[in-house]
Structure 1
Amino acid sequence: MKKVLVVSMVATVLTTSGAYAVSAAPATKPAASTSAAQVKNSTFTINGSSVTVRSIVKNGETLVAVRDVIRAMEAQSEMVNGATVIQLNGHTVSLQNKSKQLDVDGTKVNLKQPVTIIGGTSYVALRPLVSSVGGTVELRNGQLEVRTIALLEAAENPRFVGTDGLIVSKNDDQGRNDYLVNTATGKYELLLTTEGGSDLVVSPSGNQAAYTNAEGAVYVIDLKTKASKLITNDTSIKPEMVWSMDESSIYFLQGDKGSVIANLNLADGSITKLVEDKVDYKENLNVSTSGKRFIYSVTTLGKVTADSTNVDEDNVEIDFSANQQQLFSYNNDSEKKEAVQLTTGTDDKVFIYSADGQKAYYVSVPSEDGNASLMSVDASQKPVTIYNEHDVEQAILSGSTLYVLAAQDDKNSVILSIDTVTGQQSKLYTVSSDVSSIVVKGSQIAVVENGQVLVQADGSWRAVTK
């Protein structure tokens, strides 16, 4: 499927083409060298912190103190032959007082206003200064947002961590690198490097994550200290891991065919087999809050119909019409421990979720033309359509709310929420049809669009990778 500098003036939008009133502290002493310009102490939010930046308005354009912005961007600077030389993100920018040009990596960039001196401090237009170091300037909800942190490129598989973080991954020939990305700034740091291991599975609290190495051993990493702890050396294949709600254990499917549902105690590393019914090809494991009920899918494979059973021979015939995927529930707290089949249809079933281990939600994909639909089903074996107004591309269950990504038309998709208790549906956002997936945790939501991860922030989408 498919360093951040947020500049926020209470009542000001900085542009290079107009003058606006600035919410600021009392003006400092007016400069004799400018007829109308007054220096104001303006409040900015830079990299998540509130700072004071001196600014002036000259000939209808807002200029900012070079020294203040350099410090806020955490850029390197020095004086060379009377010029201020700034280095950030691999760019070198040189500016001379009273000059109407910047030297950006050896190329001249024109300014509308010359670099202005007031009280021994240089002032320059913000937009060309930010652009010169590879930053961007955007207007969001009446506030100017400037980005100067270089974003992580070509990252995949975003997962929310806490209130202001994402884990994303990059794969190469040497293995996989996992990074922590700050959703407010885009600043990132390397979290873990593995070769042949599983994806990181984040715990409910977002404080830790579990993963297996190439041999199947299970580790838990503390997402604050970045320290990993070996839980078990057990080498059985663990294709899916699910945290218990109290984070004391991890449930997983065991074996190359996913025949067994097992539990790993994080305190002592012991493994207990909970479901061992000799039914192969279990997938999409969901565990109830109590840890006693499970919902999962089982796929049956095609049948050999020719007389010969040697599948290496060309004359073997296989009836693939027998391929089916069905959903099952299993109550491990019941006296009669056996799986209960929930579905019987031949449709493809994807994005399978359950909170209580009794009712399942899934996306039904028709074998012929028609919209994929969001469905629910329980032991009655009677699927109920929850949403099919548009072609459903993805569904996520977060708490008691379903979040749906659906194709509205060739250019647009919609993201909506559905309350599983009341059934109330709310359209949240219209996004580009290039959005291939969504990520949700609590009130946090992100999308992946053309390989770029964007996070919803105050009604607009903020890119945190590129």
Structure 2
Amino acid sequence: MVATVLGTSVVSAVSAAPAVKPAASSAQVQNSTLTINGNSVVVRSIVKNGETLVSLRDVIKAIGAQAEVHSGTTVIKLNDHSVTLQNNSKQIVVDDVKVNLNQPVTIIGGTSYIALRPLVSGVGGTIVKRNGLLEISTVSLLEEAENPRFAGADKLIVSKSNNDGRTDYLVNTTSGKYDLLLTTDGGSDLVISPSGDQAAYTNAEGAVYVIDLKTKASKLITSDNSIKPELVWSADGSAIYFLQGDKGSVIAKLNLADGVITKVVEDKVDYKENLNVSADGKKFIYTVTTLGTVTSDTTNVDEDNVSIDFSSNQQQIFSYNTGNTKPEAVKLTTSTDDKVFVWSADGQKAYYVSVPSEDGKASLLSVDSSQKSTPVYAEYDVEQAILSGGILYILAAQDDSNSVILSIDPVTGKQTKLYTVSSDVSSISVAGSQISVVENGRVLVQAGGSWRAVTK
């Protein structure tokens, strides 16, 4: 990593104010503004032979590193890394590995100046450029996190699971700092509110809680212990819809103000999943799965000769409009393909990824009450689709080495290729202009054209 960044100058990324002190050489000491671990920091800097060097003392203080000086040698320690350097030397030692510098460590007015990138990389930090300014993070990152979801600006909820349950963390996407949010055993995933400042979840008994993401305090909304396999926030954040019962037969609504539960759809149709709710709360899109059938004598199902025919297993998309005079479930699809990543903005048209039963590319389709599926995207093999802010976002495998992330406007059909990423990217998360990916177990966020790791 260090070798990769050494040749990159940071001149264009440093915001320089007028010179504050003349230097002993042609270099002038300037005040430069950097973002370090989420904070705006002013450090002294010089430009030497086209490369920006920063005050070693200022950067050490800003990143909170330890420094020891013995016989002209400075040893900097942070995050189990060490950087050893000497004044006027064009070489530093990073964790016992020698690294060459383009410019020697330079002394001006009793202060040592060094290139920023090798110093930050040496202590395990990262640097990205956004809006013309450098953003530096030297925070020790959370390990082995998964399932990233944006929670407002510059915040992600991620989770870690083990045999004892699941732990959720709130991660600052600028600095990488993280805070413990919730520990649960048997509870549901946190579902973030439209405003991004709250999240809902159920405990193992089915009770519903809402956690304030600022105070990290949870509030019990209802102790109703019916199974709630899916939670969906209303558009205005005043209620939560959910599937009720172990078979997901009922669609119910939980009022957050008083905890009252109302059954909205009770059509006796089991195995609902992928619940989507329209903004007005009257229209619903969901899938229904039909199970295999017993093909042998059903009078004694305990006998060994009982067999089940799974060929009839199908998942179909349905819509339901409670505003109709005689509301009823409307079957939108009849095909036998697997249907994943089902989304709807209005409760009438659904978007889904169609996975063929045999070898072939998965594609993004749309369907409405006409029961006619229409291709939306089929160029590359679709791995994931997200509907966010009325825009579709797709992760698709381009070839064995690369995948692409693109956006599609459902109204105009305009497709925009956003990024080419490694085929190791397994999922994406989107909220407004914010986008994250999971690559080889790490969560990275897009920042000014670069990908910044926020977990490791």
TM-score by length of 2: 0.90
Look up the equivalent residue of 1:27 and give its one-letter code: A
Paired with 1:455 and 1:434, the residues of 2 have a C-alpha distance of 15
CA, structure 1 residues 98+442, in 2 after alignment: closer, same or farther (shift >3 Å)?
A: closer
Contact preservation (8 Å) 1:374, 1:388: yes
Q: What's 2:158 paired with?
A: 168
Select which of 44, 47, 53 maps to 2:43.
Answer: 53
Contact preservation (8 Å) 1:309, 1:316: no
2:258 corresponds to 1:268 = yes
5+ residue gaps, structure 1, are 1-12
Look up the equivalent residue of 2:18 and give its one-letter code: P
Paired with 2:277 and 2:355, the residues of 1 have a C-alpha distance of 24
2:275 corresponds to 1:301 = no
* Aligned-residue offset at 1:60: 6.5
* Aligned-residue offset at 1:373: 1.8
2:310 corresponds to 1:333 = no
Paired with 1:337 and 1:17, the residues of 2 have a C-alpha distance of 65
Paired with 1:425 and 1:124, the residues of 2 have a C-alpha distance of 45
* Aligned-residue offset at 1:108: 7.3
Paired with 1:180 and 1:60, the residues of 2 have a C-alpha distance of 40
Moved more, 330-339 or 263-272: 330-339
CA, structure 1 residues 199+309, in 2 after alignment: closer, same or farther (shift >3 Å)?
A: farther
2:268 corresponds to 1:278 = yes
Secondary structure at the aligned position of 1:67 is classed as helix
Q: Residues 138-153 of structure 1 correspond to what in structure 2 (within 5 A)?
A: 146-153=136-143
* Aligned-residue offset at 1:399: 2.7
Q: What's 2:200 paired with?
A: 210
Contact preservation (8 Å) 1:361, 1:375: yes
Q: What's 2:351 paired with?
A: 361
* Aligned-residue offset at 1:209: 0.2
Secondary structure at the aligned position of 1:344 is classed as coil
Q: Residues 337-416 of structure 1 correspond to what in structure 2 (within 5 A)?
A: 337-416=327-406
Moved more, 49-58 or 335-344: 49-58
Look up the equivalent residue of 1:388 and give its one-letter code: A
Secondary structure at the aligned position of 2:16 is classed as coil
Moved more, 20-29 or 403-412: 20-29
Contact preservation (8 Å) 2:14, 2:34: no
* Aligned-residue offset at 1:68: 0.9
Q: What's 2:220 paired with?
A: 230
Q: Identity of paired residues, percent?
A: 77
CA, structure 1 residues 366+72, in 2 after alignment: closer, same or farther (shift >3 Å)?
A: same
CA, structure 1 residues 218+61, in 2 after alignment: closer, same or farther (shift >3 Å)?
A: same
Q: What's 1:41 paired with?
A: 31
Q: Deviations over 1:200-228 (max 9, x none)?
A: 00001101000011111111001111111
CA, structure 1 residues 66+380, in 2 after alignment: closer, same or farther (shift >3 Å)?
A: same
* Aligned-residue offset at 1:185: 2.2
Select which of 440, 444, 450 maps to 1:460.
Answer: 450
* Aligned-residue offset at 1:307: 1.4
Paired with 1:337 and 1:38, the residues of 2 have a C-alpha distance of 76
Q: What's 2:60 paired with?
A: 70
2:14 corresponds to 1:27 = no
| Aligned residue pairs, count | 452
2:396 corresponds to 1:424 = no
TM-score by length of 1: 0.88
Q: Residues 171-182 of structure 1 correspond to what in structure 2 (within 5 A)?
A: 171-182=161-172
Q: What's 1:437 paired with?
A: 427
Contact preservation (8 Å) 2:21, 2:30: no
CA, structure 1 residues 453+107, in 2 after alignment: closer, same or farther (shift >3 Å)?
A: closer
Secondary structure at the aligned position of 2:311 is classed as helix
CA, structure 1 residues 311+237, in 2 after alignment: closer, same or farther (shift >3 Å)?
A: same
Contact preservation (8 Å) 1:400, 1:421: no
2:341 corresponds to 1:322 = no
* Aligned-residue offset at 1:369: 2.1
RMSD between aligned residues: 2.9
CA, structure 1 residues 395+81, in 2 after alignment: closer, same or farther (shift >3 Å)?
A: same
* Aligned-residue offset at 1:409: 1.8
Secondary structure at the aligned position of 1:127 is classed as helix
* Aligned-residue offset at 1:44: 2.4
5+ residue gaps, structure 2, are none
Paired with 1:317 and 1:216, the residues of 2 have a C-alpha distance of 34
Paired with 1:107 and 1:406, the residues of 2 have a C-alpha distance of 39
Paired with 2:31 and 2:347, the residues of 1 have a C-alpha distance of 58
CA, structure 1 residues 290+315, in 2 after alignment: closer, same or farther (shift >3 Å)?
A: same
Moved more, 267-276 or 208-217: 267-276
* Aligned-residue offset at 1:251: 0.4
Q: What's 1:291 paired with?
A: 281
Paired with 2:92 and 2:157, the residues of 1 have a C-alpha distance of 38
Paired with 1:381 and 1:113, the residues of 2 have a C-alpha distance of 67
Select which of 197, 204, 211 maps to 1:221.
Answer: 211
* Aligned-residue offset at 1:269: 1.1
* Aligned-residue offset at 1:106: 7.3
